[in-house]
Amino acid sequence: MSIPSRTFAEVRAFLLERREIALLDVREEDPHAQAHPLFAANLPLSRLELEVYARLPRRDVAIVTLDDGEGYAERAARRLLALGYRDVAVLAGGVSGWRAAGGELFRDVNVPSKAFGELVDATRNTPALTAEAVKGLLDSGARLKILDVRRFDEYQTMSIPTAINVPGAELALRAATLAPDPRETLIVNCAGRTRSIIGAQSLINIGQPNPVFALKNGAIGWTLAGLTLEHGQTRRFGPTPESARQEAARRAAILAERAGVSATSLAAIKPWKSQSGRTTYFFDVRAPEEYAAGHLPGFRSVPGGQLVQETEMSAPVRGARIVLFDDDGARANMTASWLAQMDWEVHTLTLNDAACLTERGYRQAPSPPAPEDAPRVSPAALSVWLTDAEPPIVLDLTAYANYRRGHIPGAWFALRAQLAEASSRIPRASRYVLTCASGLLAHYAHAELAAATPRSEVFVLEGGSNAWKAADLPLEQTEHLASEPLDRYRRPYEGTDNSIAAMQAYLDWEFGLVAQLERDGTHHFRVL
């Protein structure tokens, strides 16, 4: 059966007319980051089964897969059809065809959110202070607090001296408690620009009485100014009094109403969970530990700040409906106010009744049943096999970052989408063993490796590399690469050894996003 295609003009019409569409770039993250359409969400073929049911909850949504001529788009389309999706096509000509038709292509990741942040800055002239100015205030003993709005793990990697970690949507809820004196200056920072701008403008939008500034160019700007960052810090916000919670909720609700957000109820959203012809995402925007302590059935944990920063990753169906939950009214409404400006239909649900939060722990992402016919080997048996005169070849399909931290001795890193090519780059063996973190991806990939190595036995490691580690079996960090590690795009602002030239180039790219938005013309963004 041939796979239908949709043209650039057809996809653009969906976006302009606000019809639901999932434009999926099924390449690995690094090639995706080199060039893609604005609303192309990265869902690599390698991990498709692990993520698709959560990210595309409606089986009859219009889906268009794309690549740049590698053949992944058609393979992904066939796999989606096999999984029950009914309206699947490939993008005619892929990335090159999009360009040839006059379409705008964007670099980097999370581009819709970053472009929106630049539009907010250009429209509202969000107040900002340079790194040099902030350092001067710190040295002079001025009364100020620096609020780092990134995830805690990002904050721990590098942070501005004295900065307190207050991720994203927590700002609206926590700022008054952190700075009760309205004369105290608040500086909001992230690694680069987007979350600094959105965070500072969030406080301004809810009427925070303190002087509020974004740190211009974030931690990158601090580094480019020749200033020293801290590492491994643990400063976080503390408890918030009930009076402050209520006032934050009141202000955020007013802002959300201005943005066109509507409040909803459990009864109203019940039919949305199984509605035909309309996709609805249900997100719990509280901190992950709060979610784990108790949450509503069917809601995914996506803290509000990260949802605004990485919208297309959590909600790849452009034009879908979004429902946000919290138990205070501040975080959901603040997050919703931004999503509405990004042209999402968004509703908020606030309940402080713990009896409704009937599920505990972190929600397991739904996934298709794994094939059960793959021969399995236990970690203990594999450890014995590896001492044989002719040991098996182990192929590890985990993320490259996980592989680097430690893997089964002798294991080769491979991308699942490139298994056939990878098998030709490694030594021939009579037995192969597939593994990944949990073993699930290895089960999905078993038939593919078996087809590529028809004269050999192919096993799956029972429990994956997690089971190997739990058995306290040895690990190594020596790398054996059967595939180029393209699954992770290295952000110019990540880590502690970033190139000055790369960081400056990243800032220059961000400055140009507003012009790119105008040329693209499909975003429907508006700024309050």
Query: pLDDT tens digits, residue range 162-176?
Result: 999 999 999 999 999
pLDDT score of 370: 86
Which letter, b or e, does each residue of 19-33 get, where b requires 16 or more Cβ atoms within 10 Å of its Cβ?
ebbbbbbbbbbbbbb
**In whole angstroms, what is the distance from residue 194 CA to residue 513 CA?**
11
Please tell me if the domain spanning 122-234 has the same topology as the one spanning 253-355: yes
Q: Which fold has domain 376-470?
A: Oxidized Rhodanese; domain 1 (3.40.250)
pLDDT of 274 > 70? The answer is yes
Q: In this predicted model, what pLDDT tens digit does every residue of 2-52 receive, in sequence order?
A: 999 999 999 999 999 999 999 999 999 999 999 999 999 999 999 999 999
- Residue 116 burial (C-beta neighbours within 10 Å; 0-12, 13-18, 19+): buried
pTM of the model: 0.95
Asked if residue 506 has pLDDT above 90, the reply is: no
Whole-number percent of the chain with pLDDT over 90 = 93
Over the chain, what is the mean pLDDT?
A: 96
Among left, alpha and beta (phi > 0; psi -120 to 50; other), residue 84 is left
What are 181's two structure tokens? 């004196």
For the domain covering 122-234, report its CATH number: 3.40.250.10
Architecture of domain 5-111: 3-Layer(aba) Sandwich (3.40)
> Domain extents for the chain?
5-111, 122-234, 253-355, 376-470
Into which CATH architecture does domain 253-355 fall?
3-Layer(aba) Sandwich (3.40)
Angle formed at CA 350 by CA 305 and CA 155, multiple of 5 degrees: 20
